[in-house]
Structure 1
Amino acid sequence: MLALAAPAHAQAPASGPSLQSLVAQVNIPYETFTLPNGLRVIVHTDRKAPVVAASIWYHIGSKNEPRGKTGFAHLFEHMMFYGSENAPGAFFGRLEEIGATDWNGTTWFDRTNYFQTVPTGALDRILFLESDRMGHLLGAVTQEKLDNQRGVVQNEKRMGENEPGGLVEYAELAALLPEGHPYRHSTIGSMADLNSASLEDVKNWFREHYGPNNAVLVLAGDIDLATAKTKVTKFFGDIPKGPVTTRPAVPIPTLAAPVEKVMKDRVAQTRLSREWTAPGAVDQESNTLDLALDIIGGLGSSRLYDALVRKEAVAVGVSANLQQQENLSFVEINARVKPGVDAALVGKRMDEIIAQFLKDGPTADEVRRAATTALAARVKGLEQVGGFGGKAVALAEGAVYSNDPAEYKRDLQTIASATPASVLAVARKWLGRPVFKLTLEPGERSAADQALAGNDTAAVEAKAVTAPASTTPPATATRQQPAVGQVADLQFPAIERTTLSNGMKVVFAKRTTVPVVRVAVGFDAGNAADDHAKLGTHALMVSMLDEGTTTRSSAQIAEDEERLGATIQASGGMDNTAVSLSALKSNLAPSLDLFADIVRNPAFAPAEVERLRATQMARIAAEMTQPQSIALRMLPPMIYGSQHPYGIPFTGSGTPQGTKAVTRDDLVAFHAKWIRPDNGTIFVVGDTSLAEMKPLLESRFGTWKAAASPKGVKAFAAPTAVTGEKIVLIDKPQSPQSMIIGGEVLPVKGSDDPLALTTANDVIGGSATSRLISNLRETKGWAYYAGTSVQTVKDRMPFMVIAPVQTDKTGPAIAEARKDLTSWLGTSGTTQDEAGRAIRSSVLSLPGSFETGSDLMGALMRIEQFGRPDDYYVKLPARYRAMTPATMDAAARAAINPKVLTWIVVGDAAKVKPQLDTLGIPVEVVGAAPATPATPAAAPVATTPATAPARK
């Protein structure tokens, strides 16, 4: 008998870059100045695009809130978005009309920040707006605005609590921190405290904490120090200094003894957590501890993942992370128990693995891989000047927390200098203390756990009334809003093309901002290529690609990625399957070796198939506990019909029956049918050239031969379901909120390039100032967000309405949405002002929309997917400017028909159905959604419809 050889690992372990060389690549030059009123300003010049990121951080957060005033910092963040004395009205519209991108505002324990990236010509306008709400706000703060935003915040709170596990944060804070600790209450606050907030309370909160001396302003991008000084002095110089904010003492408590708690909720799998407090961002030990957590459970090669998920198959997922605050961090190590496995056994193994790590410590290779991964992520993140994680954030966070904008350099040096001994010492110090063990298991929420949220339903509902008209006279404007200067049209990089010897097309665009090269191989497949007899085949195949090749195991793939500082991901949209690589330029060749192996040579090892099948089943079960996912699974077969390629779960995960039925042979056949050179295109963006890339790609992909069998074809000719308007109510007891999603199939294809229709959608529900969100959020206060989306897919596109609303307003919210749609499509069409705002926003935001290599990569792939010309984006401004309200209305009226919408409502049927019965629409009630669905469900064109950006 022939002996079976162990799988060959033909390639030697990847050799990574020098850690110090990575540190040297992370550099954000800056200059600073301080105004006489105390405003600190940081300027970073980056001329790659005609945009400037303006990020202002106030050193005030929920830890500063006194007893009885919880939620004030977050509530005031909302208030500051709703007009100032010289700029009345919502801030959102003013941002959109100047083409702002990456904009938002957030509140956390230690800070409140507002950020946006704007065209250079709009910098004066944004500085005026930011300075006006810093120095000229209170005259515009009215009781009416307070009552409205109180309702919005309470709906944001309901939305979070409506998710499975939505009460866990309250239990964690209560267990880990003693009474009176500044971090013990959640940033969202309690309903009772939010209700008790008076207008004078709110105004005093602003007076005490939002002065220029408690803020840092970062300007990053197309600007220099001299210009910044002139402009910032002009707009902020006259604002008086405010009081000094008192900083509370923040001890890092240690539990006297281990604490265990069991919670129940409508979760699909039991989740086990091990939690501690730890040092905050101001302590370098937090960075070393973060490396330890990556090695324990954060990386693809981590101890917990390798043992519990790969080898023992008792968990379907693990994680380990450090949530850093200024003065304190939270350590959380999690495992999601595989259905059918004893949770106590998994918990015992978790504890053993953590204990073994604390006994023996990490290897030198583990420390190096964790450090390389962390440092490479920083290098890749330097492209963006603003947003949630760009250069402005790094500078602001260092200035606010450590009084040093260059604090990021110390952080990186700590990571690069870590050793097994230093990592072990810090891990023992902080993880060797008594632990909080939390078990979240399926079941009904207890009254005690619900009480942790601090909700008083009667008090909240008593407040939920239409706010009276404000009796506060409007403030008299004393400052003139500056005009927007000249804004250059988008300068889209040249697109170059070539073809490999096997016929594979290569599309290239140069981007030299950071020493990174991105490569993606896109295939005409996607969720729409899924086997309807075995829905879930595509998702399982995609998940298997980086879980083992014919020469590398899944563990070896993870380790090689980490050593190289590379990131490889396989993903599927509705029409497209892609495998992407983000590589450091210095490691491009070996990264491409790994990448090509993953694309071309998946092993589909039987043991790995079963492991990933269990993970996918768990994913489906989890989706059936999440309100939005439940709706997105149910809706597509109802509007498209079960035979159309899009008539499948919009989450992309397939069905339980289909996932169970998939065999290894099915996966091999699917790969041969769809993931093949004659069905794919290679895209490259980065710090290289086409001449340099072609031989590298030729040697790795040029020899790839397609299977002899024909490639796949999608059956788009299948008829869609045609029905009248109806409501399907999915009962989800104990829901504090209802998820509403309505949908229909449009007689328009994405390949038609329906620009007028997608722009028109901004008016009704696709922008932060659209009619629907203005009604349900700003006027009624019933929802945290609401909107509509026209999903651009290759064939017939879906139109969707989404509105998570408080339970007692479910029926009225649908009525309002129908009224808004009908009015807009009828006698109250798009106004000149609405059209102008949508057009200006679309044109002015283009330069900021392609700031990063990943943005540019997405554009190249869309050009290819929809058969658009290479100058498509260059010509967009002229096409937008040619639009009129009439052309936008004509496009919308020809496509959207509110009378055929299918409405999915996920909520508490006992409370919701009486409301729905008054609407005159047939209502079908479906029983409570099971954790493991028994009927075919659905997976998205996009899981997040276009709505106003969420805020913490």
Structure 2
Amino acid sequence: MLPSPQVLAKQLPEHALAKINIDYQTFTLSNGLTTIVHTDRSVPNIYVGVWYKVGSKNEPEGKTGFAHLFEHLMFQSTIHRDGEYFVPFNKAGAVAMNGTTNLDRTNYYQTVPSNAIDLALWMESDRMGYLGRSITQELLDEQRAVVQNEKRQGQLRPGSQIYEHFLKTFYPKGHPYDHTTIGSMEDLNNASLDDVKQWFNDAYGATNAVLVLSGDIDVATAKEKVAHYFSDVPAGKPMDKITQWIPELSHNKQEIVYDKVANISLSRVWALPNSSAKDTVLMNLVADTLAGGKNTPLYDVLVDEKQLATEVWANVDANDVSSTFSLDVTLKPNVDPEEVNRIIAQTLQTFFKKGPKTEQLEAINLGAEVSLLRSMESNQDVGAQLITGLVHHNDPLFVNKQRQWIGSADSDDVRTVAKKWLDKPYYEIRMLPEPTTQVAEASVDRSKMPQVGKFNGKITMPPIHQMVLDNGMKVVVAERHNLPLVDVSMQFDTGSLADKFYAPGTAEQAFSMLTMGTDEYNMNELSKKLDSLAVTIHGTAGKQRSGVNWSSLASNLDDAFALAAEVIRHPSYPQVELDKVISNIDSSYDNYELEPLRSARDVYGKAIWGGNHPFGHIVTRTEAKQINRDTIKRFHEHELAPNNATLYLVGDITLPQATKLANKYFGNWDKRTPSVLPEITAAQGQVGKVILVDAPGAVQSSISVGHTVAAFEQDKAAIQTLMDSALGRGFNSRLNMNLREDKGWAYGFSGRVNNTPTGPRVFTASGTVQTDKTAAAMSEIKREISEFIGQRPQTEAELARDKSSIVHSIPQGFTNNDAYLQSMINSDYYQQPYTRVEGAAERLADATLTQTRDLAKATYKPDELTWVIVGDLSKVEAEVRALKLGPVEVWDVYGNKLR
């Protein structure tokens, strides 16, 4: 009988195992270069390796592939040396010369005869210190082409693009690992000589590098020679980095991709902690004992027993920011992937309960020890082990921690860590063979587009009935019996305009805190009750109207009404929840002050309406802190009243049913006397002025421009919509097409008149533009508005285009109860019939070009525009002032004039 691995391990000579503890010393030059030295005189050679702590994870957006590009550039000539890097080393008898790049680092190495150590150090220090000055446009173009051909060659292999797809979909956008090391063709094409040189100067200095010398050299000699060759190397900049970001999945994510492959393959991936964690090391034992070949459960059942797969393997990819555990299966032809998935799930559950066999772990440990022991024969292996430990774990002998964790792990340890990381949602990508297809002979006339058929879209509001309860609450019901669902909204004629009688923010908190607890239920209890019925309730405050919305299955409507009545009539407004709101006020205002671009809307409101107007007042930090529970309760007591409310219902319900529910839960709600909301008075703002707010360092400027316009007229609503659409409301509008599509200065720019039922309104055009185009964009905006009412008015083609788009899209918006509900609420708000939307298409179709042009002339006032620009004033102020669009003032984020 053969001895067990455990017995074999005990039989290894003690002096042999002891050699695994490698002797080394480190030292650091004043420029930040760290050097590791391991002395071994048994062979007259020295392994020289340089690890740069620079990988694809350090590449900013738009510069992917830079680290790998430099892996190639580093082997080219410098100002001190012509020709390829390898030639002098080949002459000296060096071996194993290469460089590699991965997500976390870039490394370069060679093993040289002892007598060539000066050559190696001169060469490494020369490219570390001087390559940046040596890169020419010709050299960049040459190596860029090499890298791109490497990328193309890699894409020839079937299934090669699955890894790039995995990185993009597994890692959140912005994660350091969300792109491939080789980068994108676009970014490589866009890499300028200046970009590349700057990247080198920042990244490849001594402070980001670690040097290892392993072999026939002592520490004293190493210190002398390293100082001689590397002391003048620039330090560079320490690389900013994310140290840990483990992707989290709340549920399994599954994808299917197609490629030129013969068989279906499944790949499951789970996120792990970063590579310095003990769990990641132990997960290697999970990989080896779960699917590491013969006599592992997944291999045995899928390959040998059921013969469903040709290959099964598991792997741990250990990285600095986060690691992964992957399970890959290549299926035999005609095998059902779902059957394989069921077996994987069953096998995993068994593994979580039983773990691997002890003899498997002993064999793995013994094999690792012997493999490590054999590596001690190579100066290259020893040097690579030391420098890898230091770069990735800040411990040159990290291997000893790994040995201790692996050597002491038993079956329970392995099954426990497996369950911890694998018994959770995973990412699965399934690669399928491309289907065999055949294109038929064309019979389509491609010479012209087909005409759109006759439009038959029509909106018909469901039957609507209403009544009024004795306490004054109006009940409005729209019957839609297609599904057993009911959507409900209780609207109150109150809002933030009533804050003047209480405190700033009172209305907002009074409605948003309704579901934070009631007289009968605390917040958690209420949440559970709502979840048990699949009911959602939320309150929202507007300026003049506010509402509480809920929805429910028709069968649960009574219970939903009971909870909604409890929320609306008996909120407890717990002090502990309000305290959370108050405690966040300072940080909210701190962030507001630190990010001036957030002030654009508030400052614009003050500029248009004036600081004393309710629409223009910017609430200060001190005012925001005036909110208190007594004020909120008083608002609730006075403003939320049945005689101030309308209950709207849409869905599988009738008026008698709705009346019964309304009476049952709101009928005994006593009338009250709510506050009379103040009228919307005329604006008192800064007509014709340019207001600047400084946002130092901003790469874009926020532009808000406009003026007040006359009160809303229902008969002109359709005409106004078409007028707005041509100038700024639609994607194809003049403002957007100019600044986004033609100039490329903005992601989007829009303009429209904001409607309210009563009082003056505001025309506003707004968006953000790149900083260096701020003044030019302002000129374009002013020109577009001026020409729209002057020499280049709206055209018949624009009118026809927008009519067609809007009319044809209206029915698409009425697909659910909520659409009908909001239409009813909006019509009522504007004191129009509930069915007004039914005639929208006709009103739009009837609008004429003369009407839209006349309304435009009466609406837009290019000489009365008020501008608010939030941007980096050091870069934009002079040019903006030079436009002479009006008196210029500089305000702070609260609308206080600074100069």
- The two structures have a TM-score, normalised by structure 2, of 0.53
Shift of 1:546: 1.4
Cα distance in 2, alignment partners of residues 805 and 550 from structure 1 = 51
Aligned amino acid, residue 754 of structure 1: A
Percentage of matched positions with identical amino acids: 24
Aligned amino acid, residue 451 of structure 2: P
Which residue in 2 is equivalent to 1:581? Answer: 550
C-alpha contact 1:750 1:792 (8 A) present in aligned 2: no
Shift of 1:771: 0.7
Cα pair distance change 1:928/1:431, threshold 3 Å: farther
Cα distance in 2, alignment partners of residues 812 and 490 from structure 1 = 44
Which residue in 2 is equivalent to 1:697? Answer: 662
SS in 2 for 1:683: strand
Which residue in 2 is equivalent to 1:666? Answer: 631
C-alpha contact 2:518 2:571 (8 A) present in aligned 1: yes
Cα pair distance change 1:432/1:585, threshold 3 Å: closer
Which residue in 2 is equivalent to 1:428? Answer: 420
Which residue in 2 is equivalent to 1:681? Answer: 646
Which residue in 2 is equivalent to 1:785? Answer: 748
Cα pair distance change 1:743/1:591, threshold 3 Å: same
Cα pair distance change 1:485/1:687, threshold 3 Å: same
Shift of 1:593: 1.2
Q: Aligned pair 1:913/2:877, yes or no?
A: yes
Q: Aligned pair 1:765/2:736, yes or no?
A: no
Aligned amino acid, residue 701 of structure 1: F
2:764 alignment partner, one of 790, 800, 823: 800
Shift of 1:783: 0.9
C-alpha contact 1:733 1:928 (8 A) present in aligned 2: no
2:860 alignment partner, one of 896, 909, 920: 896
Which residue in 2 is equivalent to 1:819? Answer: 783
Matched ranges for 1:499-538 at <5 A: 499-531=468-500, 534-538=503-507
Q: Aligned pair 1:879/2:843, yes or no?
A: yes
C-alpha contact 1:491 1:847 (8 A) present in aligned 2: no
1:345-378 deviation per Cα after TM superposition (whole angstroms, max 9, x unaligned): xxxxxxxxxxxxxxxxxxxxxxxxxxxxxxxxxx
Cα distance in 2, alignment partners of residues 911 and 170 from structure 1 = 40
Matched ranges for 1:565-576 at <5 A: 565-576=534-545
Shift of 1:927: 6.6
Cα pair distance change 1:741/1:546, threshold 3 Å: same
Which residue in 1 is equivalent to 2:526? Answer: 557
Cα distance in 2, alignment partners of residues 866 and 700 from structure 1 = 28
Cα distance in 2, alignment partners of residues 178 and 874 from structure 1 = 49
Q: Aligned residue pairs: how many?
A: 527
Cα pair distance change 1:935/1:568, threshold 3 Å: farther
1:777-829 deviation per Cα after TM superposition (whole angstroms, max 9, x unaligned): 11111111011021112332211101211111111101101100011022322
Aligned amino acid, residue 580 of structure 2: R
2:676 alignment partner, one of 706, 710, 713: 713
Shift of 1:924: 4.3
Cα distance in 1, alignment partners of residues 491 and 851 from structure 2 = 34
Cα pair distance change 1:171/1:482, threshold 3 Å: closer
Cα distance in 1, alignment partners of residues 551 and 590 from structure 2 = 31
- The two structures have a TM-score, normalised by structure 1, of 0.50
C-alpha contact 1:644 1:715 (8 A) present in aligned 2: no
Q: Aligned pair 1:869/2:833, yes or no?
A: yes
C-alpha contact 2:175 2:245 (8 A) present in aligned 1: no
Aligned amino acid, residue 454 of structure 2: G
Cα pair distance change 1:625/1:840, threshold 3 Å: farther
Shift of 1:583: 1.7
SS in 2 for 1:794: coil
Which residue in 2 is equivalent to 1:177? Answer: 177
Cα pair distance change 1:855/1:533, threshold 3 Å: same
Cα distance in 2, alignment partners of residues 829 and 815 from structure 1 = 18
Cα pair distance change 1:488/1:718, threshold 3 Å: closer
Aligned amino acid, residue 276 of structure 1: P
Aligned amino acid, residue 776 of structure 1: L
1:643-693 deviation per Cα after TM superposition (whole angstroms, max 9, x unaligned): 4342345xxxx5422220123222122223322111111111122222222
Cα pair distance change 1:834/1:275, threshold 3 Å: same
Cα pair distance change 1:753/1:538, threshold 3 Å: farther
Q: Which ranges of structure 1 fall in alignment gaps of 5 or more residues?
A: 1-64, 71-168, 198-260, 265-271, 285-325, 333-402, 434-475, 937-952
Cα distance in 2, alignment partners of residues 577 and 782 from structure 1 = 38
2:247 alignment partner, one of 269, 272, 276: 276
SS in 2 for 1:762: helix
1:705-749 deviation per Cα after TM superposition (whole angstroms, max 9, x unaligned): 133xx3122222533115432222211122111111113221223
1:473-513 deviation per Cα after TM superposition (whole angstroms, max 9, x unaligned): xxx96243333333232222222212223121111212345
Shift of 1:877: 1.9
Which residue in 2 is equivalent to 1:367? Answer: none
Matched ranges for 1:585-734 at <5 A: 585-615=554-584, 618-619=587-588, 621-623=590-592, 629-648=598-617, 654-707=619-672, 710-734=673-697
Which residue in 2 is equivalent to 1:94? Answer: none
Cα distance in 1, alignment partners of residues 807 and 704 from structure 2 = 30
Matched ranges for 1:286-305 at <5 A: none
Cα pair distance change 1:191/1:799, threshold 3 Å: farther
1:544-602 deviation per Cα after TM superposition (whole angstroms, max 9, x unaligned): 21112222212222222222211111112333111110223332222211111111112
Cα distance in 1, alignment partners of residues 272 and 499 from structure 2 = 39
Cα distance in 2, alignment partners of residues 635 and 331 from structure 1 = 48
C-alpha contact 1:684 1:857 (8 A) present in aligned 2: yes
Matched ranges for 1:448-487 at <5 A: 478-487=447-456
Matched ranges for 1:918-929 at <5 A: 918-922=882-886, 924=888, 926=890, 929=893
Cα distance in 2, alignment partners of residues 599 and 190 from structure 1 = 58
1:600-633 deviation per Cα after TM superposition (whole angstroms, max 9, x unaligned): 1122233332223334555555555556641111
Which residue in 1 is equivalent to 2:699? Answer: 736
Aligned amino acid, residue 484 of structure 2: P
1:818-866 deviation per Cα after TM superposition (whole angstroms, max 9, x unaligned): 1000110223221111112222222222211211222211111101111
C-alpha contact 2:502 2:635 (8 A) present in aligned 1: no
Aligned amino acid, residue 854 of structure 2: A
C-alpha contact 2:496 2:506 (8 A) present in aligned 1: no
Stretch deviating more after TM superposition (606-615 or 797-806): 606-615
SS in 2 for 1:528: helix
Cα distance in 1, alignment partners of residues 533 and 854 from structure 2 = 53
Shift of 1:752: 7.3
Cα pair distance change 1:174/1:714, threshold 3 Å: closer
Q: Aligned pair 1:539/2:508, yes or no?
A: yes
Shift of 1:896: 2.3
C-alpha contact 1:282 1:327 (8 A) present in aligned 2: no
Cα pair distance change 1:637/1:331, threshold 3 Å: farther
SS in 1 for 2:748: coil
SS in 2 for 1:486: coil
Cα distance in 2, alignment partners of residues 329 and 922 from structure 1 = 60
Aligned amino acid, residue 696 of structure 1: L
Q: Which ranges of structure 2 fall in alignment gaps of 5 or more residues?
A: 1-61, 68-168, 193-238, 256-266, 274-333, 354-415, 426-444
C-alpha contact 2:609 2:683 (8 A) present in aligned 1: yes
C-alpha contact 1:545 1:598 (8 A) present in aligned 2: yes
Cα distance in 1, alignment partners of residues 766 and 457 from structure 2 = 35
With CA pairs under 8 Å and 6+ residues apart, which has the higher RCO, 1 or 2?
1
Matched ranges for 1:89-238 at <5 A: 177=177, 180=180, 192-193=187-188, 195=190
Aligned amino acid, residue 897 of structure 1: K
C-alpha contact 1:515 1:584 (8 A) present in aligned 2: yes
1:236-257 deviation per Cα after TM superposition (whole angstroms, max 9, x unaligned): xxxxxxxxxxxxxxxxxxxxxx
SS in 2 for 1:575: coil
